[in-house]
Structure formats: structure tokens, C-alpha cells
Structure 1
Amino acid sequence: MPIEHAAAVKLSEQYQQVRSLSEKLASKLQNEDTIIQAMPDVSPPKWHLAHTTWFFERFILKENDSSYVPFNPQFDYLFNSYYETIGSYHPRHSRGVLSRPSMDEIYEFRNHVDEAIIQLVNQFESQLPQEIHDLIEIGLQHEQQHQELLLTDVKYNFSCTPLLPQFAEPKTFQLPQSNTETTYINIEGGLVEIGYSGAGFSFDNERPRHKVWLEPYRLASHPVTNGEYISFIEAGGYEQPEHWLSDGWATVKKEKWKHPLYWRKTEDGWYTFTLTGEKKLSLDEPVCHISFYEADAFARWSGKRLPTEAEWEHAMASIPIDGNFAESECYHPVVDHSENLAPFKQVYGDVWEWTSSPYTSYPRSKPLEGALGEYNAKFMCNQIVLRGGSCASSQSHIRPTYRNFFPADKRWQFSGLRLAEDQS
């Protein structure tokens, strides 16, 4: 079914808004910043800008516009990420050696593809095919994911230089008195439904909506704070194997973890590195940059547990998607200053919340056809689900059903936790 003209115009506007945000973020960097890859998990900002553009060229223009002339055929190899069905690609761990193409050429590439996409949308007028609409929409969602990755990757790269540079200037907020007292909310459970079912966009891993059984449980009103996590550290949590999963304890010993990523202990107390520079650690901010192993160990030490992703989604489904997102340009979790009456605070934005759920497909789920079937489904092994979004996520990108996922030992993302427990 073709898309109405008004919907096509809206999509064109959305395309330009999302694409311009990537370049706005990159404009805060020096050219030298854009080629750094301080560890294999991160990618250089220049690569993010090019890869998201390659996505539109490869999956939309090359497949749907016979008149399109590729910007540079070599980019198919350089900026493919992991799509094996398309062809070979430059190794992920070596993206930092790509001093060429230059940033100027990357921006020319972006402009070349942007003009072709807008022309493709406009040429159909009121007859834009649903398939092209859907491909552009997934491309925009994909770019929003890479905008968040750009921020988290820049933060890690900057943390590795003794100069500890700032990505952005600190934001000053005039906010009311905070309320960080944590309570536990009873959730009845029962036979409930989770998963996406609606007319808007969702990834294939969010579908279909299906039934799950939940025993009665309790969920914390707030994410765990820095102050609460320091209590775990000071109690010897990182030296006590009884709190840790076997793989987690092995990782702690191997990596010599003593505290969350970016923290530094001084005679003056704890400091943390942020995208606005190093600052004194606020005890009331949500703890972030912890692995699943650390979140699970803290929960066990606390006599609690992590929620399953079904418990999280069922409890949060009706909470408004409001909070500290990338749009605030704070780029760091903040103290809870919300005045809403919802029982749960800081559900969306601030920090991704680890769940106890492995990342697997939903019942009757089907991957996308073709190469895009590799987008999510191929990663459904050795990954843990996170929910809620972070201070580096775009607000328009997040849904109650959104499933993020990372390996259990990763902590360069803005990841924290919210505690749960069974009702007695």
C-alpha cells in the first residue's frame, strides 16, 4: 500500500532532522578526535558517520533507485559493519586505522546520499511504496542508535587521554529539591502481555506481543544511586566472591575491577569522568557504567535481584516516556527532580537498566527478510537485555518495549540497575 503524500513529507522532514543531529554531535569534535578507536568495542566517530550513510545507500538506494550512482564503490567494504550476506568488510577492531577517507570526504558522502534519498522520496509524491518508507524508517532508527554509540565511544576515547577533554560544556540546572528515597512497589503479576503491537515503528526483536506469566513481585521506585553503590564497594563487594557469578568473579580478577568505569578515588572523595569533563561524584545520581556482572553482584549483596525484562516492561508500560535524554545535552545521569506522580522514577533516560533476561527471540518471532535479518537476530546469544534508554539516547527512539542488549562484561554504555524482589 503506497504512503500518503503528507506521510512522505513527514518522513522527509524526520530524515533531515535525524541526519543533521549526527553532524551536530560531530561538530563538537576536532578532526583528530574522529579517527580514535581506544578499544575494539568502540568505533571512531568518523566511522559512525560513514556507516549510517552506507546503510541508506546499500539497503535503499542501490536496491530501489536504478539511476543512483554510488559515491565510492570501495565504501561497501570499508563501512559495512557485520552483514555477511552482503560481502566482506573491514575488521571492526581496525576501524581506527582508517585515516582515509578524510572527514571532508565523509561529509560529501553524506550529502550525496541525503540528496538521493530526498529525491527518491519526492519522486513518488503520493505513491511512496510502503517498503521504501519502512526501510528509511529503520535507517533512521539505526542512525539514532549510532548517535548514542558515538557519544559513548567518544567518552571512552576521551577518558584514555591524560588531558581528559570535554565533549560539551556542563549544563546548569535550576531544579526543585530532589527526592531520591527508594521505596518498593508491589506488582501483582499474573498472565500479562509484553511486546510491541501498534501502528508505529518497532524492531523485529520487539514482536510479536505475547503472553507471559509473572509471579507477584516488587520493583524499586528509583535506580540504584552512586551513594548506594559506594556502600557495596566499602563493604568489600569487589573482594567477596560469594556475591558474584562465576564468570563475573573471573572477570573482576582478570580486569582488576574495584569500582565502576570512569570512577577515581582521591583524598577528596570520588570523582568521575563525564562528557563535560571530570567532576566530583554526586551520591544521588544513578550509578552508571557498570556491567551486568556488577549489577547482579550488587543486587545479591543487597538481598534483592534484578528484574526480568518481562517484569520491567509490565511495570513500566504506562509510564510516560519523559526524562533526561540526549536532547537535554547533559550527557550524564542526573539527580531525580521529577514532579510526576508515577510510582516509578527515572524509568526512561539517564541509565539503561540491566535485567536478568538473556537476549532471545520472542515466541513466533520472525527476523526480517534478506540481509536485514542480520540486524538483530544473529546476536541472540551470550547477551543480556537492558531497558529504558539513557542520557545518550534520543527520546523519540525509546519505547516501553525497546530491547537493548550487550554482553555481560560490557560497561562503557550508560548502564545501571533497578532492584527487584519477590513478594513474600
Structure 2
Amino acid sequence: MKCEKRTLLLYAVTDRAWVGDKTLRWQVEEALKGGVTCVQLREKDMPEEDFLKEAEEIKVLCRSYGVPFLINDNVTLAVRCKADGIHVGQRDMQAGEVRRRIGDAMLLGVSAQTVEQAVEAEKNGADYLGVGAVFATSTKADAQEVTLDTLREICRAVSIPVCAIGGIHKGNMHELRNTGIDGVALVSAVFASPSIQKDCRELLGLAKTLKQRGAVFDADGTLLDSMSVWDTLGADYLRTKGLSPRKDLEEQLKNRSLHQAASYFQSAYGITDSQETIIEDINGMIASFYCSKVQLKKGVKDMLEMLRKEDIKMCVATATDKNLIEEALRRNGILDCFEEVLTCAEVGAGKDEPAIFREALRILGTAKEDTVVFEDALYAVRTAKKDGFLVAAVYDPSAADEEENLRKLSDYYIRSFDERITIFDEKNTYDCRL
């Protein structure tokens, strides 16, 4: 069973030390109402049959909220009560043996404090890792502290999700940003709270900010209101060569990069100039437009500023000449919003292949599931989506006839950047059908 990363976002681990005049079941339900995404029942001293009764009760409660329910350490009881999973530490039963006992249907979480332990746990069948203690904690006196550098190394070394645990609360959670973790496991921050539901809502909001998020923007038709200049460019270029454009020219050029268009002009129209010369000629024809006339699409500047304030790393991926795009972005005051302006020419492939999106991901240093590709062209949306990216399709009049297909294919559809953009509000549970 694979562990979805969002499962670990806010992971509550029980401790009855703070039950007081309430019940553990009541505390767990308050946490569920507050938005916890996973619950682990930890009981070290309870008689087995009492533990089983409690586990059955809380399992039913968790499932009514659609939240995975796991047992700490006790493999036999986890199997008996048909829990969704089991979590074991380094001093408990070895991960490989646990996996043999529980089969493939149950989740297996394993604690790790070193890269070596993490890699070994994944090798032996762990579905996720709990790494810590990342801060000093009073709930587990013998917990070995893990530095944030080690936490980053562990996240890079494994392909399974990782959550941090140990001493985490509202005041220090921000220190875990951009370490690579997929969530946090909390004990006292949840169960010692006098207002569990309210505090869990706040903790969930903080947990959503921990991952470095990224955005890859197409330029023409997405950021720039520039598609009109391309409508007749191919025909105008051919006329400068004394050639008559065919009726299907616009359709032929629609999904081609400049290099691909140059190759098409050579093969279909017999132009003997090199591809580089053809591209230089075309760029020369449109240079003044990009350098002095092209404008941003409505709402783009405010939207980019909002994303930058939210620490979302951004990159441009375009089929147009790099110098022209950089000049257009600079003149419109948004060039410094981006880590890089990346072109199809640089990666050696058009957007009918995913190379440019993959290179943008490498530049941003973000995970694919935390990176949104913004595109107006159906073929580019299709490429990015097929390669596993989250895709926001952006309306442009030049692709009005493709709007229905863009809506169906993309994760989000944006009519205008002037409207409220909610794409980055919550990973994997977005709704941006603007």
C-alpha cells in the first residue's frame, strides 16, 4: 500500500497524559474536526484487550472522517483490529519482519534518525518515515535529536514520504520549511492543547507552508498578450522570401518551436538558409514588438507579486527567443520574479516533449507534485500533464476553440489572472476552475 504524501501533512500521535476529565476518543475527534490527516494510537501500558477495544472505537471514528488510523508498535493488535497501518521504531520489530506479518495491504511507517536507517527502512518495505526528534521533546525522553541537515539528507535519499516528529509546535514549525518533508507528526501540540480543534486548524495551515512550491510559466499567451503577433508571422516571413504561404500554414506552425518551424520551412518550402539564419530573420521581424510594444496579460503582475510573497519559486519556459522574452519581461517589470528564463532551444526540444518542464523543475529544485505548469496551448498542457505535472491552463483568445479540451485535460482552468488564484492554497486538494 502506497502512502499518499498528503496523508502525513498533519499527523496526530496520541498520548493520554493530557486526557484529564475528557476521553481520548473525544480528543481524537476534536483533532479530526480540526483537520488532522492521520492518527496514530500509541498505548504503552494498557492491557491488550482494553487496547483492542479502544483501537476499534478510534478506528471507526477515523474512518468516519476518511483519515488513516495506525497503531504504534503493536503489530499483533494492529492486525487484529484491522488498522490501516502500523508504525514501528528502530528498537521495535524490524521493518522487513513487520512487512511479512502485515502483508501489502497495510501501511508501514518506520522511525529513522540517520540516512542509513532511512534507506534500509525503505528497502525493507516501509511506506513512509517518521524522522526525529527534530527538536527537544518532553514526550519521549530517550529520543535522539536529528539535525535539520540530516533531515534534508534523509528526504533526498529516499523516494517514500517523510514526516518530521519531535518537539514541533506552532512556534518552531517554520524552521522545517524547505527541508523536503511531507508533513509533521505532533503529540503535545495537539493533545496537550485546551483548544484541540482550533489549534489543529492553525497547525494545518502552518504545515501547508512547509514544502517549497514552484511554478513554471509559459510566456506567449500566458504571461504576455503576444499571440496576435504570431498569427501572420509565418506567412509574412515566407513573403519576404518571395513565397506564397499555403492555406494550412497556421495549423502546421501551431505546435512548433522556432527550431521546428525553421526545419518545416526548409522541408516544405525549400528554403536553403540554415535553421539559425531563419530564426534570426524571424526574431528580427518581431524584435521591435517584444522590445517596445508587448504588454502583460491582465492581472499578471499582481499575481506574480502575490506568489513571490508566498515564497513560490518561479521559472519561465518558452519556445520564443530568450533575449526577446527577457527584454519583454524586463520592460514590464517582472523579470526579477523568475529564477530563470528557459527556452526550447536550450533544451533541444519543443513542448511536444517534456524536456523543458523537467529542466525547469531541476532549476527550481522543487518536487513535481509541488510544481504547477501554467500554459495556454493544448499540446503543451497535454505534454506536461502526461509527464505528471500539475497543470493550470490559461485562457487566451488564440486558443478559444480549444477551451473545452483545455478544461477537461488540465487540473485547473484560469480565465483571468485578475480573479483570485487558489491553486497554491492546499497541495493536492486544489480547486481552481475560474
Report TM bin, short chain: under 0.3
* Structure with more helix by fraction: 2
Higher relative contact order (CA 8 A, sep 6+): 1
Larger radius of gyration: 2
With structure 1 as the length reference, what TM-score do the two structures score?
0.28
